[in-house]
Amino acid sequence: MSIELVVFDMAGTTVKDKNFVGIAFQQAMASQGYEIAIENVNPLMGYEKPLAIKMMLEVRESDKSKITEALVDAIHTHFVNGMIEFYKTTTEIAPLPNVEETFAALREEGIKIALNTGFSRDIADVIISRLGWEDKIDYLVASDEVPYGRPYPDMIRKIMAELGVESAEHIAKVGDTEVDINEGINAGCKYVIGITTGSFTREELLPYKPTHIIDDIAEVPGIISASHEMAVKG
């Protein structure tokens, strides 16, 4: 079966991130008195952000009665406001190397491009606008637009419904974190491609059993064209 759709993550996969997201998350937690080392923040970056906040609080707050929706909302609001302000004003926002060329190469082959993210939609929209990607992708879905974010397959299933892709066997998922890989596996994607441009190293991605691990997003079209050739021969 040939690939009809590639679903890419955003920060760390297609969008340059010098740990801007992790630092904003760290600052949001600190705003409510929770000091967390950045190395303990980064592994959670692919998750829907309110869930990541709850996961951190469960580890660091001994009085579980304090872990309320109001506390999570306060931390998340601080994070969202900080990220929106950052992405609206930063001069550092940019695609990662070879991303736009990869989008173009895939679309030339008739393959649809979608983005999904652990960000909320308001943050994602600012990023797309600043990068001028409105016409470079076919669809965008954020974690607050579905019942469950990663590692659940809801975002990929929403994309499939919107773009008319009938089977996950026609999809490749590309992302830089453990939850990207588990999302792709849970959705049943034919290819689940881990990339080392973001939060996880090759060694850290390996245990989650992606179908491929790459160091450069420009490798994606080659993986897909090889699958097309096999499909034709088959």
Residue 216 to residue 234: CA distance in whole angstroms: 29
Q: What is the CA radius of gyration of the chain?
A: 18
- 212-214/191-195 β-pairing: parallel
24 φ/ψ angles, rounded to the nearest 5 degrees: -65, -40
DSSP alpha helix (H) spans, the chain: 20-30, 38-41, 49-60, 69-89, 99-108, 121-131, 154-163, 178-187, 202-205, 220-233
Joined tokens for residue 188: 């049943």
- 5-8/212-214 β-pairing: unpaired
Cis peptide upstream of residue 151 (ω within 30 degrees of 0): yes
Residue 117 to residue 49: CA distance in whole angstroms: 10
179 φ/ψ angles, rounded to the nearest 5 degrees: -75, -25
Which residues are identified as catalytic? 9, 49
Joined tokens for residue 213: 């691990």
